[in-house]
Structure 1
């Protein structure tokens, strides 16, 4: 069962996108390292979209 999440429209993610050095932007970036919702979100993406997200946010596998 796929649970819906709001990672695409997350306000903290938007803060990071607008200003990665802002407090909430940095908090969001730290948060995705262990967030189960983010991990599930990443699993729902197709390979191309996942690769784009990994590249955009410099995520290490």
Structure 2
């Protein structure tokens, strides 16, 4: 399990429950430029990274 706060982020959990909520949309917008999120993705194993990218409709970097 990752030590990144992204793993247990309350806004991410809100997005997972209600992607169209205001806080869910705020989190989705935020990950577009968040250096912590980018670090979190880089630290994930390739298979898990691909799953996260697919789940959140992110392009592979």
CA drift of 1:60 comes to 1.9
1:1-61 equivalences under 5 Å are: 4-61=3-60
TM-score (norm 2): 0.90
Runs (4+) of structure 1 exceeding 3 A deviation are none
CA drift of 1:5 comes to 2.2
- State the Cα RMSD in Å: 0.8
| Aligned residue-pair number | 58
TM-score (norm 1): 0.90
Q: Which runs of no fewer than 5 residues in structure 2 stay unpaired?
A: none
Aligned mates of 1:14, 1:38 — CA distance in 2: 14
